[in-house]
């Protein structure tokens, strides 16, 4: 069965510092991988995704994630965070051909000035 583990439930960082949010998954088949972001009182928004091709994927607001098949990981990184990045971040996996996402438990990213 698929599962997703986000090792850190909370990550506090200072503004302009780099950040890495960790995500590991388990699946027996080829997968799609996703990061979703949830700002306070809002729904989940797709941040970036890996479907195929280049293992490094990027979002428009400076986040990037790298698919590492050997380590079954899809860690999210940003070299310099901003106050507006404060949110909860969810990693998710889907088997190719399936119609459901399996989510991790989320990581709350808090940016301190």
Partner 1 sequence: EPEVTQTPSHQVTQMGQEVILRCVPISNHLYFYWYRQILGQKVEFLVSFYNNEISEKSEIFDDQFSVERPDGSNFTLKIRSTKLEDSAMYFCASSEAGVMALHFGNGTRLTVT
Decide: is 31 part of the binding site for partner 1 (CB under 8 A): no
Name the residue nearer to partner 1 (CB basis): 43 or 113.
43
Nearest distance, CB of residue 37 and partner 1, angstroms: 11
Decide: is 90 part of the binding site for partner 1 (CB under 8 A): yes
Structure-derived torsion over alpha carbons of residues 55, 89, 24, 57, reported in degrees to the nearest 10: 0
Question: Are 35 and 60 a contacting pair, CB within 8 Å?
Answer: no
DSSP 25-79: EE-SS-EEEEEEEE-TTS-EEEEEEE-SS-SEEE-TTS-EEEEETTTTEEEEEES
Decide: is 55 part of the binding site for partner 1 (CB under 8 A): no
Decide: is 42 part of the binding site for partner 1 (CB under 8 A): yes
Decide: is 45 part of the binding site for partner 1 (CB under 8 A): yes
Q: Of the ranges 11-19, 35-43, 60-68, 75-83, which one interacts with partner 1 (CB under 8 A)?
A: 35-43
Interface with partner 1 (CB under 8 A): 32, 36, 41-46, 49, 51, 90, 92, 94, 98-106
């Amino acid at each position: 069965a698929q599962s997703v583990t986000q090792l850190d439930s909370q990550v506090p960082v200072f503004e302009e510092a780099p950040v890495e949010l960790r995500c590991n998954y388990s699946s027996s088949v080829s997968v799609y991988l996703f990061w979703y972001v949830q700002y306070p009182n809002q729904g989940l928004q797709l941040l970036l995704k890996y479907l195929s091709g280049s293992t490094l994927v990027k979002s428009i607001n400076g986040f990037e994630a790298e698919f590492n098949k050997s380590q079954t990981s899809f860690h999210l990184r940003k070299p310099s965070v901003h106050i507006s990045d404060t949110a909860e971040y969810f990693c998710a996996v889907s088997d190719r051909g399936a119609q459901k996402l399996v989510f991790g438990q989320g990581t709350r990213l808090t940016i301190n000035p």
